[in-house]
Copies of this chain bind each other. A is one copy, B any other.
Amino acid sequence: MTHSNQKPLSLFLGRLLRRSELAQAERQAVLGLKSQVAQVRAHRDIVLLGDQVNSCCLVVDGLAARFDQLADGRRQLTALHIPGDICDLQSVVAPVASWGIEALTTTTVLHVPHAELKRVASEHPGLALAFWRDTIADASILAKWVVNLGRKSAQSRIAHLLCEMGVRMEQAGLGRRAAFAFDITQNQLADAMGLTAVHVNRTLQAMRGDALVRFAGRTVELHDWDRLARIAEFDPAFLQVMRGERELVDA
């Protein structure tokens, strides 16, 4: 059933507010978006590669990933999405998907129809701008991934991803950067980093032995943030969050 889901939508609103200032009416428009909840089990595809979609996926709980796939079935993840993220906001204006979306863990998503998003964007130009900015933030991460895949060692890549996720989780209010929920298999990690699962395994072992990282249950702990950031050459600027004025919302 399609109806208003204020609590999950306030997560998304929070994400928008980290990068754009929105008037009260605009905030209400976001919270009033009609949408539909769904649960997806781990390892299932939420959007199939090449699907034509008419709604966006807002992650409410869990972890999702955008991916592309080669002819032989090998996958490359192109983005990780945490609660509050819309995985495919770009599909609103470019509905021919050349990607797929996969649930990495059991994930709750909100399907928000394109029609709803188009409506609020045209009624509130400030929202159109905020959506544009949101897309740009995703693209900025994508550009950083290109650098990591193109020029960094396995260890540096993994370190960078961990730093990225730590800061994002912290910003989203979902944990501390030094310890946060990150329930990902080494296979999935390999698909994100352009490596094999075996090599990810050995690299993680080395990092663990070096007291840099520990996966504990569904959580990851970063024991030495500074050293990890140095190995990763991590500079959070690319995450494009407005400093200071992080207004939070209580819906």
- Which A residues form the contact surface with B (CB < 8 A)? 50, 66, 68, 70-71, 74-76, 78-79, 90, 93-94, 96, 98-99, 122, 125, 128-129, 131-133, 135-140, 142-147, 149-152, 193-194, 233, 235, 237-238, 240
Which of A50, A145, A238 has the most chain B CB within a 10 Å cutoff?
A: A145
**Set of chain B residues within 8 Å of A137, measured between Cβ atoms:** 94
Q: Smallest distance from the beta carbon of A57 to chain B beta carbons, Å?
A: 16
**Set of chain B residues within 8 Å of A74, measured between Cβ atoms:** 151
Once bound together, how far apart are the Cα atoms of A98 and B131, in whole Å?
20
Once bound together, how far apart are the Cα atoms of A193 and B146, in whole Å?
9
Which of A66, A99, A144, A147 has the most chain B CB within a 10 Å cutoff?
A: A147
The answer to whether B194 and A90 have CB atoms under 8 Å apart is: no
Supposing A66-B143, A139-B142, A237-B98 touch, asked if A150 and B76 sit within 8 A by C-beta, the answer is yes
**Set of chain B residues within 8 Å of A240, measured between Cβ atoms:** 94, 96, 98
Q: List 16 A-B contacts (CB under 8 A).
A: A68-B143, A68-B146, A70-B233, A74-B151, A75-B151, A90-B136, A93-B129, A94-B133, A94-B240, A98-B140, A98-B144, A135-B136, A139-B139, A146-B149, A149-B149, A151-B194
- The oligomer's copy count stands at 2
**Set of chain B residues within 8 Å of A233, measured between Cβ atoms:** 70-71
Once bound together, how far apart are the Cα atoms of A97 and B149, in whole Å?
20
Once bound together, how far apart are the Cα atoms of A178 and B140, in whole Å?
32
Supposing A68-B144, A143-B78, A149-B194 touch, asked if A132 and B138 sit within 8 A by C-beta, the answer is no
The answer to whether B143 and A99 have CB atoms under 8 Å apart is: yes
Q: Can you name the residue of chain B whose Cβ is closest to the Cβ of A75?
A: B151
**Set of chain B residues within 8 Å of A238, measured between Cβ atoms:** 98
Q: Can you name the residue of chain B whose Cβ is closest to the Cβ of A243?
A: B96
Q: Smallest distance from the beta carbon of A204 to chain B beta carbons, Å?
A: 18
Q: Smallest distance from the beta carbon of A26 to chain B beta carbons, Å?
A: 15
List 14 additional contacts besides A71-B233, A93-B132, A94-B133; criterion CB under 8 Å. Answer: A68-B143, A76-B146, A76-B150, A76-B151, A78-B146, A90-B136, A93-B136, A94-B137, A98-B144, A128-B129, A139-B142, A142-B143, A149-B150, A150-B194
